[in-house]
Amino acid sequence: MKIQLGLTYKGERHYIHGSDLFNAVQFAAQGMPGGEGAYISRLGFNHFAYHQCELYLDECVGSNSTVAEGELKFSDGTDKRFCLREGTRKPTARNPYDEDSMVTVAAYSGQSATLQAPINYTTIEVVIALTKVLNYRLATPKQGKWVFGKIELSQSLPEIRKFITVTRTKAIPGRFSVNQIDIDGGIVGSVQFIVGTP
């Protein structure tokens, strides 16, 4: 099965933001027959996407155009592998995105960063922004940028009703980090960041 994703650029970025790919895949999955309650249990990126992408289910043979691979979990307990492949058409729309203002009120303690609700962004946008600012606070890379590399979830990302805390649990300074995601007092998964250049 192949599904075309309608993607836009975020802010002034010239690549597709990982949160938009995440949200587009989950929206497409939940629109499938039997997909109500489906969620992304794993999503890992191979490289940046600069053009529109297509979602492939159970057809993930190797390809240079594959930008990400992952797994969907459905409410009946079944799992489906998926991959995202990049096409040649660039997005024609651009949405405003003020990531910096979102995290200016974050509170820090040791290896953790916390944001209190209400937050006017999707949960995955908050996870990425908060993890990014935490990693820069703990270790600014000499070259490249901290970027979203992989997420693993034990449940669908819930709406943030009280708070979200991201805690770094493992790292190779300036190269790689693993960060635990706590939403409203429950651990929902982990997000990995790597140092790369868009």
Q: What is the pLDDT along the chain (198 residues), one digit of tens a residue?
A: 889 999 999 999 999 999 999 999 999 999 998 899 999 999 999 999 999 999 999 777 666 789 999 999 999 999 999 999 999 999 999 999 999 999 999 999 999 999 999 999 999 999 999 999 999 999 999 899 999 999 999 999 999 999 999 999 999 988 999 999 999 999 999 999 999 988
* CA–CA separation, 97 and 52 (whole Å): 19
Q: What is the pLDDT of residue 64?
A: 76
Selection from 58, 78, 41 nearest residue 3 by Cα: 58
The Cα 68–Cα 47 span in angstroms is 7
What's residue 59's pLDDT?
73
pLDDT reported for residue 61: 66
Q: Which CATH architecture has domain 99-196?
A: Roll (3.10)
Domain with CATH 3.10.129.10 in the chain: 99-196
Task: Please state which CATH class domain 2-95 belongs to.
Answer: alpha beta
Helices (H), the chain: 18-30, 99-103, 123-138
pTM as predicted: 0.94
Element (DSSP H or E) covering residue 195: strand 186-196
pLDDT of residue 177: 97
